[in-house]
Amino acid sequence: MSTIAFLNIAMRGHVNPTLPIVAELVRRGHTVTYHTTPSFREEIAAAGAMVHLYPGGEQPLPDPPIPATLIAGLASTAVRLLPTVLSDLRRIGPDLIVHDNACPWGAVAGHELGVPAVSSFTTFAYDRRVPSPTRGSWALLAAATARPRSLQGYLRSRRGLRHDFDTRGLPWLDLGNIRQPLNLVFTSRAFQPAAEDFDESYRFVGPSIGARPDDPSFPADQLRDPVLYASLGTVFDTDPQLLRAFALALAPLGGTVVVSTGHTDPAALGPLPANVLARRFVPQPEVLDRTALFVTHGGMNSVNEALYAGVPMLVVPQGADQPMVARRVVELGAGLSIRNPKVSEASVRDLAGRLLDDPRFRAAAAALRIAQREAGGYRRAADELEHYIHAAGSSGVRTPSIRRSEAE
């Protein structure tokens, strides 16, 4: 059996899809380690991995969380974490490193240790036709020059990385699109835009959805059909009035309306109709199994989970890659989209009514449900990792790398 090290960024949408894979690898007899922050420690340990904490505690998102500040934050985090991460990994002696596509310290660690690495994409796979949010562009340049401290910090961090570590293969700018000889993409080919452009190094394994702990506090037995569900995730701060508009718009259309408020106190929404259930967090896959319509921010995990359940969507993108995800949902006929400035009680009710009344939306979502499930999910992802370890071992890929300072 092998030792597999996971390294990730501290975002729920990036951690959650890896947990069923970790549990499956452990079930198959592999040793799995996972570098993370304290907030994810318990659930990663529950999946069976040996947890190693990053130094410095939690890793807050850049403010604001836009591509220009994100790449600066990723580069500086890599400089800060790599000494500890490398020390840990030298003791662990992994046969394989699995890192997020936005985790530069994972890619650098693979080169430093001469260990084969795999990149996991919780978003779409990116290329010229499907551009990464952190790709070089005039918009990124303008945002960077408007924040000279972020730009200077990024350049300083990149110089530090290049001087101290082996950064071969690490994109100079596009740190949200770090690729490896094997890239696991957690959606189906049917949902991936321009899927035909991607070579065999990209494996579209579908949503990685496993069993989650029951939430006995959630009143699932009180849900009445049709269940309508609204959630804007946990990354972006949500205006309570926006969530209230969803609740009031959906209440006349549903038996039960479930609103997940995330970091927003449900009380901030004010008085709500009797059939509205507002809670900070809900067991999303369980709710989606009962849902007739999902109002979502368009985060990739949420959309994948909705399509896995065959649920049509009204997508209200908040930022990051969410506008791109929203466009794909609309292109494939599985939902509609509206931007924040156009959101009102009347507009949401009108669009939700269309989604509920027109059977073509549910038919498109049902077709994608089949594609998402047939892609294989976490079991196929585990198969791909095992095959890759075997192939790398057979070819003698694991060789110590020579540090630049040692070679000169």
Terminal Cα distance for the chain, rounded: 38
Mean pLDDT within 81-110: 97
Residue 207 CB-half CA count within 13 A: 24
Q: Mean per-residue pLDDT for 86-94?
A: 98
Please state the rounded mean pLDDT for residues 130-156: 87
Fold of 220-372: Rossmann fold (3.40.50)
Burial 3-15 (b: 16+ CB within 10 A, else e): bbbbbbbbbebbb
Do residues 150 and 144 make contact, with C-beta atoms less than 8 angstroms apart?
A: yes
CA distance 336 to 351: 7
260 contact partners, CB below 8 Å, separation of at least 6:
229, 230, 231, 232, 279, 280, 281, 282, 284
Domain boundaries defined on the chain? 3-206+376-407, 220-372
User: What are 144-175's pLDDT values in tens digits?
Assistant: 888 888 889 999 999 999 999 999 889 999 99
**Residue 190 buriedness (CB in 10 A; 0-12 / 13-18 / 19+):** middle
Beta strands in 75-122 (DSSP E): 96-100, 117-121
Single-letter amino acid, residue 127? D
Determine phi and psi for 242, rounding to 5 degrees.
-70, -45
- Write the pLDDT tens digit of every residue in 218-274: 999 999 999 999 998 765 557 889 999 999 999 999 999 999 998 889 999 999 999
Q: Tally Cβ neighbours within 10 Å of residue 317.
A: 23
- Of the chain, the percentage scoring pLDDT greater than 90 comes to 78
Confidence category of residue 75, pLDDT binned at 50, 70, 90:
very high
* CA distances in angstroms from 158 to 170, 177, 289, 349, 402, listed in the order given: 10, 16, 45, 48, 19
- DSSP state letters, 351-403: HHHHHHH-HHHHHHHHHHHHHHHHT-HHHHHHHHHHHHHHHHHHHT---PPPP
Whether pTM exceeds 0.85: yes
> Tens of pLDDT along 365-374?
999 999 999 9
* Cβ–Cβ < 8 Å for 349, 250: yes
Two structure tokens written together for 344 = 């009102």
DSSP label of 3: E
Residue 384's nearest CA partner among 122, 175, 119 is: 119
CATH 3.40.1280.10 is held by the domain 3-206+376-407: no
Residue 156 CA to residue 161 CA, distance in Å, equals: 9
Distance CA 122, CA 12 (A): 11
Instruction: Say if residues 360 and 317 touch (Cβ distance below 8 Å).
Output: no
Say yes or no: do domains 3-206+376-407 and 220-372 share a fold.
yes
103 Cβ contact partners less than 8 Å away, ≥ 6 residues apart: 7, 8, 9, 74, 178
Written as one letter, the residue type at 104 is P
3-state class of 22 per DSSP?
Answer: helix
